[in-house]
């Protein structure tokens, strides 16, 4: 399903697959902890105008398939989600403080991949065939 969103000066469809894991791969994202984490992620995404297309919270990891406006830096979005959620979760669920004596619930790093229906080959062909009659259409520098 492909759909485009509109901004004040853009039409866009920027989708991403995100994955990050708990520190030490501990199986702590269960029950009320997982439900609260889902609510926190939803709050952050809503505030940042990011749509969650699909999501899954496993016992030791988070998978998100999101649609974000082009001005959102994915690294910043993940930083918010991984940075704000541990503090709130550890305040509300004492059992997490026994597993994670610091403030770090998540392992370092994350996985991100852009998604879409257009292949690299299709983009190259599109660019090559644009404006064949146009003097500047091929984006080359003449010596």
User: pLDDT at position 10, please?
Assistant: 87
Quote the pTM value.
0.81
pLDDT average, residue stretch 9-27: 91
pLDDT band at residue 119 using 50, 70 and 90 as cut-offs: confident
Cα–Cα distance, 74 to 63 (Å, whole number): 14
- 5-129 placed in CATH 3.30.70.1290: yes
Cα–Cα distance, 25 to 99 (Å, whole number): 11
Domain extents for the chain? 5-129
Q: Is 126 a known active-site residue?
A: yes
Given the residues 16, 26, 100, 126, select the one marked as catalytic. Answer: 126
């Amino acid at each position: 399903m492909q759909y485009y969103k509109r901004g004040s000066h853009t039409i866009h469809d920027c989708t991403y697959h995100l994955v990050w894991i708990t520190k030490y791969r501990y199986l702590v994202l269960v029950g009320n902890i997982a439900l609260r984490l889902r609510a926190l992620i939803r709050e952050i995404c809503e505030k940042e105008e990011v749509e969650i297309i699909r999501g899954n919270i496993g016992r030791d990891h988070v998978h998100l398939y999101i649609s974000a406006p082009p001005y959102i830096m994915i690294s910043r979005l993940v930083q918010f989600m991984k940075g704000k959620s541990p503090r709130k979760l550890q305040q509300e669920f004492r059992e997490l403080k026994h597993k994670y004596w610091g403030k770090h619930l998540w392992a370092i790093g994350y996985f991100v991949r852009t998604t879409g229906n257009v292949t690299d080959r299709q983009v190259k062909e599109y660019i090559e065939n644009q404006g064949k009659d146009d003097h500047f259409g091929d984006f080359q520098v003449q010596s």
